[in-house]
């Protein structure tokens, strides 16, 4: 196995244990596909963040426009209220003036009636005096003309009052129409103001939701970027470890022990190889073996440790290279007994069972890989 093939094998294998290694079946280059997928995911999240920021900017512009519109309508409402109050004061003054003129007109009508009655009575008396006393006819005529003069004056005054009252009535009708129009404008403005305020409230709620989404996606982006950096560093570290790897002849070659390799832990299986992963369209490419906290996890074959450290979502992780393109992986350990570069023998304790990496149950996640392709452990380990 050349150094170049070892390096490519490492790239295949890194993808195998990332996130418990439940990769889609049939990928020609799982490692490259995973790296590309992770990069595409980061790009997609960045695009989502940019879209959210643009949407937030658009909402802010709309909020500004709404605030200006609400201010304009508020000023219009205030102006209309002032106009309505002014017209109402004007109408009240005209109504008072009209009432006073009606009273004066009625007074004049009463006086005219009294003058007519008095003239009639006086006219009769002057006629009798003319017959009995032989008074001058011209004198009586003057008296009658005097009454007629005052009656004509009062009649003219009444006509003047009536004309003013008619004008007041016409102005009052016009004011009432104006007041009705202003009231309709006021009602319309109040409705518009209410609609704008409701819209403003909805926009503010949306702005808050966008801020929450933006924070969430920014946090997700940071997590993905950290994961990407960790993966890159791990590839570099494993590359350095494997480039100078050489194997002795202490044990049989890995392929010769097909079906006879020991299990890394005695315990029931929590998942079968090839079973669907919880996401539905993914499948497990290894098995999870249940155990008690602290139980020994043992190497299945002679090899050299190429990774021994904590890794995101896999917890405390140990990887052994068995040569000829074969590797085994042990994840979620409570503690690791071997360091990178150390040699191990078949059945040697390499770790303690745990639930690191976010698992709720104690156990070890185990995989066998050949040239980066997952192998069914049941075909390699002894039958139970």
Q: What are the residues whose beta carbons fall under 8 Å from the beta carbon of 288, sequence distance 6 or more?
A: 269, 270, 271, 363, 364, 365, 366
Number of structural domains in the chain: 2
| Tens-digit pLDDT string for the chain (384 aa) | 333 333 344 444 544 444 333 333 333 333 555 666 777 888 888 888 889 889 888 888 887 887 788 888 878 878 878 888 887 787 788 778 778 777 876 776 676 676 666 655 655 555 455 445 545 555 556 656 666 776 677 678 778 767 877 877 888 788 788 888 888 888 888 898 888 888 888 888 988 988 998 898 888 888 888 877 776 676 666 656 555 555 555 567 899 999 999 999 999 999 999 888 665 566 788 999 999 999 999 999 999 999 999 987 789 999 999 998 999 999 999 999 999 999 999 999 999 999 998 888 999 999 999 988 889 999 999 998
The C-alpha atoms of residue 179 and residue 94 are separated, in whole angstroms, by 14
Q: Are residues 194 and 289 in the same domain?
A: no
Burial state string for 180-200 with b = 16 or more CB within 10 A and e = fewer than 16: eebeebbeebeebbeebeeeb
Residue 298 corresponds to which tokens in the numbers above?
């043992």
Pair of tokens at residue 48:
């989502």
Q: How far apart, in whole angstroms, are the C-alpha atoms of residue 381 and residue 384?
A: 9
pTM: 0.43
For 77-111, b/e burial (b = at least 16 CB within 10 A) is beebeebbeebeeebeebeeebeebeeebeebeee
Range of the domain at 333: 247-379
Shared-domain flag, residues 273 and 354: yes
Query: 170 vs 161, 162, 326, CA distance in Å?
Result: 14, 12, 107
* Burial profile 257-269: b = 16 or more Cβ within 10 angstroms, e = fewer: beeebeebbebeb
* CATH value at residue 294: 2.70.70.10
Could you tell me if 282 and 147 lie in one domain? no
CATH number at residue 110: 1.10.287
Would you say residue 169 lies in a domain? yes
**Same domain as 293, residue 174:** no
CA distance 287 to 294: 19
């Amino acid at each position: 196995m050349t150094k170049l093939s070892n390096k490519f094998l490492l790239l295949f294998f890194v993808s195998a244990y990332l996130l418990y290694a439940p990769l889609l079946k049939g990928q020609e280059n799982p490692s490259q596909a995973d790296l590309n997928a992770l990069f595409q995911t980061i790009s997609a999240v960045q695009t989502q963040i940019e879209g959210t920021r643009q949407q937030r900017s658009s909402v802010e512009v709309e909020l500004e426009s709404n605030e200006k519109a609400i201010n304009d309508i508020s000023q219009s409402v205030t102006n209309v209220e002032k106009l309505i109050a002014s017209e109402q004061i004007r109408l009240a003054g005209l109504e008072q003036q009209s009432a006073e003129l009606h009273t004066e007109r009625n007074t004049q009508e009463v006086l005219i009636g009294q003058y007519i009655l008095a003239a009639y009575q006086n006219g009769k008396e002057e006629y009798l005096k003319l017959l009995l006393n032989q008074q001058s006819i011209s004198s009586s005529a003057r008296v009658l003309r005097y009454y007629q003069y005052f009656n004509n004056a009062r009649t003219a005054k009444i006509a003047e009052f009536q004309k003013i009252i008619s004008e007041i009535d016409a102005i009052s009708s016009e004011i009432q129409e104006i007041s009705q129009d202003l009231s309709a404008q006021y009602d319309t403005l109040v409705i518009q103001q209410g609609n704008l305020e409701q819209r403003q409230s909805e926009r503010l709620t949306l702005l808050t939701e966008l801020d929450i989404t933006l924070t969430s996606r920014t946090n997700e982006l940071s997590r993905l970027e950290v994961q990407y950096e960790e993966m890159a560093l791990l590839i570099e570290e494993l590359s350095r470890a494997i480039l100078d790897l050489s194997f002795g002849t202490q044990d049989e070659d890995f392929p010769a022990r097909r079906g006879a390799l020991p299990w890394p832990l005695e315990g029931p299986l929590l998942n079968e190889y090839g079973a669907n992963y919880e996401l539905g369209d993914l499948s497990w490419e290894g098995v999870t073996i249940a155990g008690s906290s602290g139980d020994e996890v043992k190497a299945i074959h002679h090899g050299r440790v190429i990774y021994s450290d904590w890794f995101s979502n896999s917890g405390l992780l140990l990887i052994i290279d068995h040569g000829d393109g074969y590797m085994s992986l042990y994840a979620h350990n409570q503690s690791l007994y071997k360091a990178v570069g150390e040699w191990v023998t078949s059945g040697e304790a390499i770790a303690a069972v745990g639930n690191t990496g976010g698992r709720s149950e104690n156990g070890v996640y185990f995989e066998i890989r050949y040239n980066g392709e997952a192998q069914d452990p049941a075909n390699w380990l002894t039958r139970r």
